Amino acid sequence: MEDKVAAKAEQAAIASPRRAPTQQRSRERVERMLAAASALIAEQGSDAMRMGEVAERAGVSIGSLYQFFPDKRAIVWALAERYTAESQACIAAALKDVSDAEGLKQAFSELVDIYYRLFLAEPVMRDIWSGTQADKALRELELADSRANAEFLVAVLKRLRPDADPVELETTAFLVWQMGEAAVRLAISVDRGEGDRLVAAYKRMALRELLAE
Amino acid sequence: MEDKVAAKAEQAAIASPRRAPTQQRSRERVERMLAAASALIAEQGSDAMRMGEVAERAGVSIGSLYQFFPDKRAIVWALAERYTAESQACIAAALKDVSDAEGLKQAFSELVDIYYRLFLAEPVMRDIWSGTQADKALRELELADSRANAEFLVAVLKRLRPDADPVELETTAFLVWQMGEAAVRLAISVDRGEGDRLVAAYKRMALRELLAE
DNA sequence: TTGCAAATGTGAATATTACTCACGTTCTGA
DNA sequence: TCAGAACGTGAGTAATATTCACATTTGCAA
C-alpha cells in the first residue's frame, strides 16, 4: 500500500518535477496529507478544498505539500488512483471465474450494485469522479481504468462467444462499462427510488447487450 | 432569439442580483460578450477563459461584464442554455410524427448522428458539457434538458406500446437519453474509428431497449 | 564519531484572477 | 427639460495557488 503511494508520487513527479518520498518519515507525512485532503473533500468537495487547509489539517507546512504534489490536482489524482487500483482488483476477482451466461449475469449484477452502493456511501469518490471530465489527467485515468475493466469483461465474453468478432466485443465491453459509470453517476444525482430504477434498467440493458448479441 | 437571451439573463439575475439588458444597446453588448466568451472557449476551453479577456475581446469593460453576468459560470451557463433550447426544438421536431418501430429506428439513429457530429464539430459544446458535472447549475440544466428530451421519447413509446407501464417507459427513456450523451462524449474523446464503432454500438443497444422490451 | 550531501521542512512573499464599487455617462418617459 | 433609471468604467480588493530562499534532519562513508 505504501509502495503504491510512493509509485504514484513518483508518477506525479514525472509530470512536474517533485520529489518522491523515500524516507519513512516523509512517507507517513504524505499519508497524512492524503488523509487530510480526503477528509476535506468529503466535507466540502474538492473544489472548495484549500491547499492551506490541507496542510494545516495534516500538520505540515504548505511548502511540504508542494514538495510531494506538483499542484492541487495531483492530490485529487492520487486519491483517484487509489480508488481505481482497489476497484480493479475487485472487478478482476469477480469476473475471473465466470464461464457461462448465468455466471456473468450474477457477477455483473453484483458488481453494478457494489459500484452503486460505493458511490452512495463515499462522498469522496462521488466528488472526484463527478469532476472527472473537467480535468484532463483524471479523464485519462478514468478512461484507462475503464479500458482495463472492459478487458476483464472481454475475457469473459470471449469464453462465452468464442466465434464473435474480437473488435466488436472490445467495443461492446468498453461501451457497457462506460455506460455503467454514467448510469451510476446519474442514479446518485436523483432521488433514491428513481436511482434504483435507473440502475435496474441499466443492468437489463447491459446484460441484454452482453449476452444476446 | 434576443428574447431568450433576456429571459436567461433575468434568470441568472435571480440567483445573484444582476440587471437584465433592456436597452437595445446593452442587448447588443451582451451579445458581443457571449460571442467573445464562445470564441475564447473554443480556443482554450472554459477553464482557461479569463474574464478580463472576454471583456477585452467584446470591447467592453470588466465592470460591464459583471453588470449582466453574476459570475464566470453564468456566462458558460448562458451559452449552454442556448444549445439546449436549440437542440430541444430539433429533437421535438424529429420525434413528433413517429408512430411505428421503423420510424423510431430511423429518427433515433438520425438524432444520435446529429448529436455526434455536433460534438465533433463544436469545440464549445464539447467543452461546456465536459465540465458539466463539476458545476451544479450546469448539471441541473443538463438533467432538465435530458428529462425534457426523454419526454419526447416517452410520447413515442406510449404510442408504440400503449399497454406498457408508464413509469417503466419514463425510466427507460431517461436512461437511454443520458446513456446517449455519455456515449457521444466518450466517442469524441477517442480516435474517430473507435468513436464511430462506439456510437454504432450505442444505437444498437438503445434501440434494442426501446423497441424490444 | 564526524562531517557532508541529499532529503526534507518552513512560511512569508509573489502571482494570478475573479469580482466589487464609487463615480461618470446615456437613455427614457412625463 | 429634467429626474431617475439603466448603463459603463477600470482601478482596487480579496482570495488562493504556488514559489523560493533558507533552516533542519537523515543517511552514510571516511
* Cross-chain Cβ contact B179/A183 below 8 Å: yes
pTM: 0.90
What chain B residue is nearest to A185 in terms of C-alpha separation? Answer: B133
Show which positions of strand C are touched by protein (CB under 7 A). 7-13, 17-22, 26-28
pLDDT by residue for chain B (213 residues), tens only, comes to 333 333 333 343 334 458 898 899 999 999 999 999 999 999 999 999 999 999 999 999 999 999 999 999 999 999 999 999 999 999 999 999 999 999 999 999 999 999 999 999 999 999 998 866 778 899 999 999 999 999 999 999 999 999 999 999 999 999 999 999 999 999 999 999 999 999 999 999 999 999 976
Q: Which of A175, A186, A201 sits opposite B201 (nearest CB)?
A: A175
DSSP string covering chain B: -HHHHHHHHHHHHHHS--PPP-SHHHHHHHHHHHHHHHHHHHHH-TTT--HHHHHHHHTS-HHHHHHH-SSHHHHHHHHHHHHHHHHHHHHHHHHHT--SHHHHHHHHHHHHHHHHHHHHH-HHHHHHHHGGGG-HHHHHHHHHHHHHHHHHHHHHHHHH-TTS-HHHHHHHHHHHHHHHHHHHHHHHTS-HHHHHHHHHHHHHHHHHHHH--
CATH architecture of the region B78-211: Orthogonal Bundle (1.10)
CATH code for the domain defined by A2-70? 1.10.10.60
Nearest CA to CA, how far is B208 from chain A (Å)? 8
Protein chain B, residues 53-92, with a C-beta closer than 7 Å to any atom of nucleic acid strand C: 62-63, 66, 70-73
Write out pLDDT tens, residues A124-133. 999 998 866 7
Q: Considering only CB atoms, which chain B residues are within 8 Å of A202? A: 175, 179
A80-211: CATH topology is: Tetracycline Repressor; domain 2 (1.10.357)
Write out pLDDT tens, residues A83-97. 999 999 999 999 999
Q: Which residue is nearest to nucleotide C28 (CA to C1')?
A: B23
What are the residue ranges spanned by the domains of chain B?
Answer: 2-70, 78-211
| Same fold across B2-70 and B78-211 | no
